[in-house]
């Protein structure tokens, strides 16, 4: 049986009559675009591209003037889709101050796939001030993650100061991790150490390869051994 997808004159007649379906267009891949560009560069460098006046009738029939335009349009469409998808993810970038009344809308209904980092704090507590500053930096660095802060007793009535600072990690409205109390956060915690800590919960995707706190400890121990 003859293949209906073959490029033959008989199949063209059958397609024109509606007896067999039109041939499906080949999906354009990124590799096709790269090959097209490389071929065009080679033709220009080698002078191999023929002028239309030099082409035979058969060559003119085979020439599809809109092929380049179709490939470029497909490439443009894919690139726009990628940029839109990225833009939809990068919708935050700032730390949002909330109250208890905002909790459900800002956290439980943050959106599909959205990670939320909530800091409970109080004014006048040094470690809370430091984490607030770190939070501002990380919010700009990881705009796909939603960073939220709230005065503890405004968000949760009678929340004990002994538990501050507190970090709650949510994903799609579910509590995934809680980091409670000053025992987890030293007053000298660095931005990298805080980023690493959050990355271990899944809230951010860090580029740090190793735990910065462990590196600091190794340097301290090396210095101690050297001085002995």
Cβ neighbors of 62 (< 8 A, separation 6 or more) are none
pLDDT for residue 219: 36
The continuous run of DSSP H or E covering 146 comes out as strand 146-151
Q: How many CA atoms within 13 Å lie on the side-chain side of 143? A: 9
Name the residue among 8, 29, 32 with its Cα closest to residue 20: 8
pLDDT for residue 78: 78
| Cβ neighbours around 100 below 10 Å, total | 13
Name the residue among 119, 127, 130 with its Cα closest to residue 97: 119
Nearest-angstrom CA–CA distance, 129 and 133: 6
Burial class (CB in 10 A: 0-12, 13-18, 19+), 199: middle
Report all structural domains of the chain as residue ranges with CATH numbers, in order of start.
96-200 (3.40.30.10)
Q: What pTM did the predictor assign? A: 0.58
Supply 115's token pair: 């990670």
Q: How many CA atoms within 13 Å lie on the side-chain side of 59? A: 8
pLDDT, one tens digit for every residue, the chain (228 residues): 556 666 676 667 667 766 666 665 555 565 665 566 556 545 544 555 555 555 556 655 555 555 566 666 776 777 777 766 666 665 788 999 999 999 999 999 988 889 999 999 999 999 999 999 999 999 999 998 999 999 999 999 999 999 999 999 999 989 999 999 888 888 889 999 999 999 999 999 999 988 888 754 443 334 333 444
Cβ neighbors of 138 (< 8 A, separation 6 or more) are 117, 145, 147, 191, 194, 195, 198, 204
């Amino acid at each position: 049986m003859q293949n209906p997808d073959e490029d033959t004159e008989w199949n063209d007649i059958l397609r024109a009559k509606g007896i067999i379906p039109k041939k499906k267009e080949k999906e354009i891949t990124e590799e096709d675009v790269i090959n097209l560009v490389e071929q065009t560069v080679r033709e220009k460098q080698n002078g191999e591209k023929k002028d239309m006046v030099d082409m035979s009738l058969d060559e003119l029939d085979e020439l599809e003037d809109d092929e380049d335009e179709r490939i470029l349009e497909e490439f443009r469409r894919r690139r726009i889709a990628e940029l839109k998808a990225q833009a939809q993810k990068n919708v935050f970038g700032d730390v949002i101050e909330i109250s208890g009344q905002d909790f459900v809308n800002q956290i439980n209904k943050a959106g599909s796939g959205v990670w939320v980092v909530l800091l409970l704090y109080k004014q006048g507590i040094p470690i809370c001030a430091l984490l607030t500053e770190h939070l501002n930096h990380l919010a700009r660095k990881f705009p796909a993650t939603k960073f939220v802060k709230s005065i503890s007793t405004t968000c949760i009535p009678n929340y004990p100061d002994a538990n501050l600072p507190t970090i709650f990690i949510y994903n799609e409205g579910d509590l995934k991790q809680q980091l409670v109390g000053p025992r987890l956060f030293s007053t000298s915690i660095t931005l990298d150490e805080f980023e690493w800590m959050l990355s271990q919960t899944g809230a951010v995707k860090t580029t740090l390869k190793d735990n910065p706190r462990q590196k600091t400890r190794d340097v301290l121990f090396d210095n101690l051994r050297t001085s002995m």
